[in-house]
Amino acid sequence: MASAAGETQASIHRWWRLYAAALVGTVPLLALFIMAHRMPGFRLGPGDFAMFYTGATLVRETPAALYDLDTQTHVQQTLLAPYGWTYTNGLLPFNYPPFVAVLLQWIARFPLPTAYFIWLAMNIAALLALIGYTHAPSRLLFAWLLLLWPITWMVLLQGQPSIWLALFLAAGWCHWRRGHAIAAGLWWAGLAIKPQFAVLVWLWVVWQRQQRLLAGLAVGLGGLLLLTLFSTGWQSLLDWGRMLLFTAQTNGAYGIAPTLMPNVRGMLFTLGIPAPWVWGVWGLAAVGMLSLLVRLWQHAPAETAFAGTVIATLLLTPHSFLHDLVLLTAIAPLVWERAAAHARTATILLLATHALAFINVFTRSPLLVSVLWGGVLCAWGWLVLKQAERTPRAAHL
């Protein structure tokens, strides 16, 4: 048994080394990626950070108008005008929960360029923390995965909060594995900054039926709710919901383009399915995938079930973009720890995930991008299911 285990670990490490070598070979491509984003015509600006800066400014000055699109447009254009930056339709709306603007209101005290670099430093700190929460044997190679993956650079340069989501997922898992259930629940409560990526994870947490884990989650969510109520009131939650419904119905407006989403909804739109039918087909896919997920929760080890939950989240979320795929980095070490007989397949899959980020830069075909990303995410799901077949369910941590 010991000999077999040693051979398995040697196989995994051998494929890890191959993967690392392949990543090193993509450094020139990474340089091309950065150069492409500095070509004439590329508007180098604050990226998505502008929406957070707008929300932080509004919650400091006129919190009652936080989700009024006309007010957001006026404030954002006023903030960006000195730097010559603009967005499609004149606005990149702040569409995050009210507590996000409340927590970031301090950053609006600084000029926009200064605030952007403060936010960039915070994202880099989150990236380092994410690496720190990685299982020690694969930490170095995991760092390579993050630092040489174009999506990581996209998240950092555009001011996206997706790295924080990956950190919340990884930190919560790490604390739960160590027996710190309350801390795990608190970390997973942080996923509320993007609720569409939190629902399935929270359902999985409830499925565990652990009082301390549920208590941590409840305390975290309760704290965020109280922060919202005391800062912006109930009305802000209602206004937020109404704004989300309105912007969801605008195909391509306000920075929301379903054909660019690497999920089931995006694949359906790029296939040309009429909009009224998209949600029906999406619902059928969701029912089938959730049935599979429940079986995974029932019979698979905790690591495999958690990884499967994150993959299902990325596929089923109604709203996501390329940068949100950085959430895969939160589960990559878990999948690799159980790669065993599928080490070669896992290596190819990781390389494909890495390479597709470059394809996104140079292709103009939403259909090609959507189908390729959908295929890669489904392949991740297949690998998790194969691992579940090979390993009996472990006891709850």
Task: Specify the length of the chain in residues.
Answer: 397
Instruction: Say if residue 181's pLDDT is above 80.
Output: yes
Check pLDDT > 80 for residue 81: yes
Q: How far apart are CA 85 and CA 91, in angstroms?
A: 11
* Maximum average pLDDT range among 22-26, 252-256, 304-308: 304-308
Residue closest to 183 by CA, chosen among 137, 138, 133: 133
| Distance, CA of 252 to CA of 68 (rounded, Å) | 19
pLDDT bin (cut points 50, 70, 90) of residue 187 is very high
- Helix 2-25, helix 139-147: angle, nearest 10: 20
pLDDT greater than 60 at residue 185: yes
Mean pLDDT computed over 346-357: 61
pLDDT at 373 over 90: no
R_g of the chain computed on alpha carbons: 21
Q: What is the pLDDT of residue 26?
A: 54
Do the beta carbons of residue 58 and residue 75 sit within 8 Å? yes
Taking the C-alpha atoms of residue 92 and residue 79, their distance in angstroms, rounded to an integer, is: 12
**Per-residue DSSP letter, 306:** H
